[in-house]
């Protein structure tokens, strides 16, 4: 954490109780006994950050686990010449930083507040002994790591094997299904620049493709957001694995 303010209280304050419920709802913590969950909450430090603030940098020591209470966190990497690639967008109710936390090595990517954010930070010195005392939780984190690996494999496959329409369709459906948005309102709060950095294409190519789909009422373009209106044609593009611009 680079310069982030921290709550110095040893345990959770009453005003944080509703925010801690976000941790309680997380599938990896939902089955903890009440006493164990209370212990975990005592380790959580409350942090608020403004949009654009650096949370973690690639190469930083892996000394904490981060849970997002509100807002969105961008996980990305950059090249020496200034190109960026977005690996993931972490939203409220999700956690990140587990890879470096568990193996004790350096961070593999940057984490930036994509919006104003509220976070809980749990220090590795407290979390690792806690996990060792909770075997079921350790298994949950193995599941989490496997899910992350599968997601990474899917992204690599899309970039290598799929054309632009397939890659863009895959990214849009992954973002809608990830958050289980209602079929009638699949709104993704993402800019075209951000999604271009997700799929490895220029913003101009992304804009051209999205406009073609908007004409067909597959998507609707809004300021800072994309609404998926018809997921079925997008799934068909992914399954076909081919098709030119505007298909």
- Over its C-alpha atoms, the chain yields an Rg (Å, rounded) of 19
* pLDDT score at 168: 92
* pLDDT score at 39: 87
What are φ and ψ of residue 188, in 5° steps? -110, 115
The model's pLDDT over 141-154, given as tens digits with 9 standing for 90+, comes to: 888 888 888 887 87
Is the CB of residue 180 less than 8 Å from the CB of residue 225?
no
Average pLDDT of the chain, as a whole number: 83
Confidence of residue 18 (pLDDT cuts 50, 70, 90): low
Whether pLDDT at 127 is above 80? yes
Whether pLDDT at 14 is above 60? no
Confidence of residue 12 (pLDDT cuts 50, 70, 90): very low
The model's pLDDT over 210-223, given as tens digits with 9 standing for 90+, comes to: 999 999 999 999 98
Residue closest to 96 by CA, chosen among 151, 176, 162: 151
Cα(126)–Cα(87) distance, rounded to whole angstroms?
28
What domains sit in the chain, N to C, each tagged with a CATH number?
14-156 (2.60.120.10), 162-240 (1.10.10.10)
The model's pLDDT over 61-76, given as tens digits with 9 standing for 90+, comes to: 999 999 999 999 999 9
The model's pLDDT over 172-202, given as tens digits with 9 standing for 90+, comes to: 998 887 655 444 457 888 899 999 998 888 9
How many Cα atoms sit within 13 Å of 145 on the Cβ side? Answer: 12
Whether pLDDT at 245 is above 70? no
Three-state SS letters, the chain: CCCCCCCCCCCCCHHHHHHHHHHHHCCCCCCCCHHHHHHHHHHCEEEEECCCCEEECCCCECCEEEEEEECEEEEEEECCCCCEEEEEEEECCCEECHHHHHHCCECCCEEEECCCEEEEEEEHHHHHHHHHCCHHHHHHHHHHHHHHHHHHHHHHHHHHHCCHHHHHHHHHHHHHHHCCCCHHHEEECCCHHHHHHHHCCCHHHHHHHHHHHHHCCCEEEECCEEEECCHHHHHHHHHHCCCCCCC
Q: Residue 69 contacts by C-beta under 8 Å, 6 or more apart in sequence? A: 19, 22, 92, 117, 118, 119, 120
Q: Which two tokens stand for residue 207?
A: 């804009």
Q: Over pLDDT 70: what percentage of the chain?
A: 86
The model's pLDDT over 91-118, given as tens digits with 9 standing for 90+, comes to: 888 889 988 888 888 999 999 999 999 9
* pLDDT score at 139: 85
């Amino acid at each position: 954490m680079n310069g982030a303010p921290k709550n110095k209280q040893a345990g959770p304050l009453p005003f944080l109780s509703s925010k801690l419920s976000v941790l309680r709802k997380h599938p990896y913590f939902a089955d903890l006994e009440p006493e164990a969950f209370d212990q975990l909450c005592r380790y959580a430090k409350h942090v608020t950050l403004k949009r654009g603030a650096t949370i973690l940098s690639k190469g930083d020591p892996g000394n904490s686990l981060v849970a997002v209470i509100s807002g969105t966190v961008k996980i990305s990497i950059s090249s020496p010449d200034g190109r960026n690639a977005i690996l993931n967008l972490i939203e409220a109710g999700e956690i990140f930083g587990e890879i470096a936390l568990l193996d004790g090595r350096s961070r593999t990517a940057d984490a930036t507040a994509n919006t104003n954010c509220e976070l809980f930070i749990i220090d590795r010195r407290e979390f690792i002994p806690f996990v060792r005392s909770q075997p079921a939780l350790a298994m949950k984190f193995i599941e989490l790591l496997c899910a992350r690996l599968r997601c990474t494999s899917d992204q690599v496959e899309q970039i290598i094997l799929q054309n632009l329409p397939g890659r863009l369709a895959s990214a849009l459906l992954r973002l809608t299904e990830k958050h289980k948005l209602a079929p009638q309102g699949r709104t993704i709060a993402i800019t075209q620049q951000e999604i271009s950095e997700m799929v490895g294409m220029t913003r101009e190519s992304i804009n051209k493709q999205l406009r073609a789909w908007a004409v067909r009422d597959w998507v609707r373009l809004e300021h800072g957001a994309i609404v998926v209106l018809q997921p079925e044609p997008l799934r068909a593009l992914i399954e076909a694995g081919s098709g030119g611009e505007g298909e």
